[in-house]
Structure 1
Amino acid sequence: MTPAVRPADILEQLDAAAEEFRFPDLDNGYSYAVDARLHGYRDAGRRALVVETIGYSPRAGNLTGSRPSRSETFRQIADALATGDRTLYAPKAQPNTHWSHWPESGSL
């Protein structure tokens, strides 16, 4: 039996990735955002969150400034991954992954 994972544990890992500049930032001035996708997986023994970002970047860099734990969406994702209850992921806001929502993307 796999030990229980709390949503707070998942958010802590996501926040740590953001602090270490290993979390996707769609508003990165060094990269022209094209698309973003998020996939969550869970079974009895494993959990995984895959964030795909597609963009053109003439330079390398990551300027993330926001912690995932401050986002309602990522809090809901953590709840769903921790419990396996898909109904806990029910975002109220419309998706904002379209490139036009990230005006600073590629502006540097």
Structure 2
Amino acid sequence: MTTSSILGQFDLCADRAEFPDQDNGYYYPVDARIHLFGDDTRWAVVAELLGYTPRGGNLIDVVHCFGNCLTRGEPGFGDFLDRVDNMAEIDPHGEEVYAGGVPVVVRGTALAVDAPAGTPLQDVFRLLAPANRDLLMADGTELRARIPADLPELLRLDEWHQPEDLGAVMPSGHETFRMIAEVLDSGDPARYRPTLPANTHWSHWPDAGTL
């Protein structure tokens, strides 16, 4: 386990288009998180991109998993977790807009919506995200679905600076992911000392989801 080997895995996944990309054309970004896990010999990263995908017909938590100790599958895309239980009620005609007057039910919890009928669904979900992050993002079981149950969590990032173009800037050449690799290699969360401003809020990615 070295910084260079960790970055090498990140770059390989980015080259296969299986690295977290806020500018993905298939879903409108809503929220994001990265979790770092590790000990003396093992490391893992679980990255979540929460977004509304019209093609998938739901608000989906796209989970990416990396590491040298994955319990199943290869590094890259992990699970695609549907979050809304009642899409047929909030968008009965498949028009990608809010029907109005009904809550959004997430994992059995009804969330009141302060938006009029006709509001684009991505805007509805973005309104709900700040107060309901833990409900919308992965829970403990989902986070550890592909990593060892005893692997300690070192650091959680609720925001970070993401490369604007992963085709032009690989993870190994970007400050955020170099520091993430250093944290994993050393086991020291203090190695994460960003100088670039966070840009993972959905407002920084106006073209995402518009494929």
Q: Shorter-chain TM-score: which interval? A: 0.7 to 0.9
The separation in 2 between residues aligned to 1:16 and 1:46, in whole angstroms, is 19
Structure 1 stretch displaced more, 6-15 or 22-31:
22-31
The separation in 1 between residues aligned to 2:9 and 2:170, in whole angstroms, is 10
Higher helix share: 1
- Contact 1:80/1:88 (CA < 8 Å) preserved in 2? yes
- 1:7-22 to structure 2, matched below 5 A, reads 7-22=3-18
Structure 1-normalised TM-score?
A: 0.85
2:39 maps to what in 1?
Answer: 43
Computing the radius of gyration from Cα coordinates, the structure with the larger value is 2
Higher strand share: 2
**Which amino acid in 2 is paired with 1:102?**
W
**Which amino acid in 2 is paired with 1:23?**
F
Of 51, 70, 77, the residue aligned with 2:180 is 77
The separation in 2 between residues aligned to 1:104 and 1:71, in whole angstroms, is 22
The separation in 1 between residues aligned to 2:34 and 2:15, in whole angstroms, is 20
How many equivalent residue pairs?
102
1:102 maps to what in 2?
Answer: 205
2:94 maps to what in 1?
Answer: none
The separation in 2 between residues aligned to 1:104 and 1:81, in whole angstroms, is 32
Structure 2-normalised TM-score?
A: 0.45
The separation in 2 between residues aligned to 1:8 and 1:59, in whole angstroms, is 37
Once superposed, what is the RMSD of the aligned Cα atoms?
Answer: 1.8
SS of 1:23's equivalent in the other structure is coil
- Contact 1:7/1:79 (CA < 8 Å) preserved in 2? yes
